[in-house]
Amino acid sequence: MINIIQPLVNLTNANLQATSRFIQAPEITELTRANVDKHAKIARESFTKIAQSDALEQWMQQSMQNFSRFASECMQSSFGLMSQAPNLFAHQMQDFSQQVEQGINATVRATGRSAEYIDEVSEAGSQEESNQSRGKARQQRQAG
């Protein structure tokens, strides 16, 4: 069976080996090290200039002012919520009380209906017992 992607695999492996040898070559390593040192020096110089600039100082001041305004607005919002909390709590308690009252009323109505039903069943049962007692008494009279 012929593997049609084997040539691609071979090419990829060969290129990886060649690239690895290239990267590890002493000339490339030395050039890379020299360039890294140059860029690090340039970056240090740039950061020093930036740190001494008025633009950085203005940016930092503006950022601090923005954060200060943010903190102030958050505190004001928190105080506003805390000042509304008693009213909100009272409103929620009132709603809760109404819901409890509605639940109690529904229970009372259901219980009242149940009690009425129990009374009706009891009365019906008493009447039936009474009828049965009369019927037995009649049967005893007739038998005796």
Residues in the chain: 144
Residue 96 has what pLDDT? 80
Both tokens of residue 59? Answer: 């940016």
Domain definitions of the chain by residue range = 98-144
Q: pTM for this one?
A: 0.36
Residue 56 near residue 50, CB atoms below 8 Å: yes
pLDDT greater than 80 at residue 117: no
pLDDT greater than 70 at residue 36: yes
pLDDT greater than 80 at residue 32: yes
Dihedral angle of Cα 15, 19, 20, 23, to the nearest 10 degrees: 180
Interatomic CA distance for residues 134 and 137, integer angstroms: 5
In Å, how far are 94, 96, 99, 101, 111 from 107, measured between CA atoms?
20, 16, 12, 10, 6
Tens digits of residue pLDDT in 93-110: 888 888 888 887 777 777
pLDDT class for 66, splitting at 50, 70, 90? very high
